[in-house]
Amino acid sequence: MGVYWISAAGMGRAAIPAVFLAWKSDGNARNWRSASVKSDTENLVTIDAIRAAAARIASVAVKTPLVRAPFAGVAGHGFPREIWLKAESLQPIGSFKLRGAANKILQLTAEQVARGVITYSSGNHAQGVAYAAREVGARAVIVMPSNAPAIKRAATLALGAEVVEVGVASSERLAKAEQLVREHGYVVVPPYDDEQIIAGQGTCGLEIVEALPDVDLVLVPVSGGGLLSGVAAAVKQLRPQAKVFGVEPELAGDTAESFRKGKIVTWGAELTSRTLADGLRTQSVGKRNFAHIQAFVDGVITVTEAEIRAAMRAIVATTRLVPEPSGAVAVAALLFHAAELPDYRKAVAVVSGGNVAPELLAEVLTESAS
């Protein structure tokens, strides 16, 4: 039975109970530089736009709680650090995606609502669009990849949306959506590369600072960049001294590479589709999102598949929250990449979603720690 040893606060060594883990570290560090290149791009989302979004979506999305997470050997009793989880898994659709989708759709005109909406998504944004479209009485069409989790596809259909299936590449989803827009005149609700989507996702960051005004480190999952760009914009405009880091799977590390190189890099679908974190398989970060990331984000960390699975176990065991793999990556960074993070007293990790298939959750929770 193995125990993985991690460094807490960069001082000493502390053990995580083996129940969380089924692997051993190879000791390799992956350090990303800070965002020394800052964007001069105009039209970054303002804190006023994020506050307006919060008021707009108040009747649709919920203010999710911060849940204290005293992970053994890292935070809690006997440690000066506090770790809190932003439980976006408790949104009505089980994911943060409702925030951005609602902010976009609730601003449509009556003529646009009558035309219907369309998006392209592997599942969580699909549900957000379907839910918000139902609120305003709009038809919702969702282009989904063939490898989307069945639980997310079923939930999208249950919300009244129509699903069009294509191949696994995010580029295929976009191309099909554009074709259907030309044919039917639908209004596109992009999953991330849109100011209204970014402002909607930014309400998550607004709530973090309102609930924990002295937060000094925020970690956010990243794929297309909607959540990271919005949360970072809110946090940095309200508490500039706080550090914000994006986290993504090592097997889908396009944002980390883009951040290092100072330009958007695209990874092939055959690469990004390898990760268990189906919500983080986007092939490149959005242009608007990358501008926000360059302006507001301090670093991007990648985590392994084993770390993601271990973080899922740790979250369930410590807080009783249920994360999907994509929702566990920020916690994985806190647990296993302390050396790559700045010192902190109060950290928040965003658990972006909890839409995990029961059989996958059972598999992860019952893995042998050997």
Distant-in-sequence, close-in-space partners of 153: CB < 8 Å, separation ≥ 6? 123, 126, 144, 163
d(CA 367, CA 370): 9
What amino acid is encoded at 4 in this protein?
Y
Q: Are 208 and 218 in contact (CB under 8 A)?
A: yes
For residue 164, give the 3-state DSSP assignment.
Answer: strand
What is the DSSP code (8-state) at residue 325?
G
308: CB partners within 8 A, 6+ apart: 249, 275, 276, 277, 325, 328, 329, 332
Give SS3 for 311: helix
User: Which residues are tagged catalytic?
Assistant: 97, 352
Evaluate whether 343 touches 359 at the Cβ level (below 8 Å).
Answer: no
Distances (CA, A) of 200 to 58, 121, 167, 209, 242: 11, 17, 28, 15, 21
Provide the β-strand partners of residue 246: 220, 300
At residue 118, the 3 state secondary structure works out as strand
